[in-house]
Amino acid sequence: MKPPTALAMGALLLRLGNTTFGGGDPAMAAMQRELVDRLKWLTAEQHGLAFGLARVTPGTNVLAYCAATGWMVAGWFGSLLSVSGVVIPSALLAVWLCGVYDIYGANPWFRAAVAGVVAGAVGMMASSGVSLIRARARGRWLLPGLLFAAAVIAAMRFNLLSPLKILAAAGLLGALFGDRPGSEDPA
């Protein structure tokens, strides 16, 4: 198979980044399905690395993800085209949507439509979490599933932990209970 070009990578993320809604998690889940599952331009481990690095870098995580995957697939030019393809149309759309909201925000039908979009986005975010656990767990669901549930409860129910503290705790638990360097992959 011929390696993908920077233009092909940029075009893919232009399409995916501008046809998903709900923020970075649903967009990255759609990108994972295309890049890992369908096109096989990235491995599940490369996706996990890009996703993890995007979560710990400051700023918008989907942009960091696009930069990382663009780099992995097609170098610096792939990274530049991938980020530009997601940023420019999305920024223009956000400006336009703010104007629409100013005009129609009090309309009950409009508000109901916005609530439906929010519900869909929450479902897509949950789906991306399950996809990440499935790709990494390789048949060992108990610990990753418990960590995922505990992180959701800590973040949403008790509001005790910031996302940075949750990431630090998950990294520590992963280092303590995860795969050891040099160990054989059971899958």
Q: Looking at residue 183, what is its pLDDT? A: 55
Tell me the HSE value of 61 on the side-chain side, using a 13 A CA sphere.
16
Report pTM: 0.60
Amino acid at 30: A
Q: Looking at residue 187, what is its pLDDT? A: 44
Q: Looking at residue 10, what is its pLDDT? A: 95
Q: Looking at residue 157, what is its pLDDT? A: 75
Whose CA is closest to 90, among 21, 11, 32?
21
Q: Looking at residue 170, what is its pLDDT? A: 73
Whether 54 contacts 65, CB under 8 Å = yes
Whose CA is closest to 30, among 2, 1, 53, 51?
51
Name the 3-class secondary structure at 95. helix
Amino acid at 87: V
What are the pLDDT digits (tens) for 7-52?
Answer: 999 999 999 988 887 678 888 989 999 999 999 999 999 999 999 9
What are the pLDDT digits (tens) for 74-116?
Answer: 999 999 999 999 999 989 988 998 999 999 999 999 999 988 9
Percent of the chain with pLDDT over 70: 88
Whether 9 contacts 78, CB under 8 Å = yes
Q: Which DSSP letter does residue 90 get?
A: H
Mean of all residue pLDDT scores within the chain: 84
Annotate 118-145 with b (16+ C-beta within 10 A) or e (fewer).
eeebeebbeebbebbbebbeeeeeeebe
- Kindly report the CA angle at 60 between 59 and 65, in degrees rounded to 5? 115
Q: Looking at residue 161, what is its pLDDT? A: 67
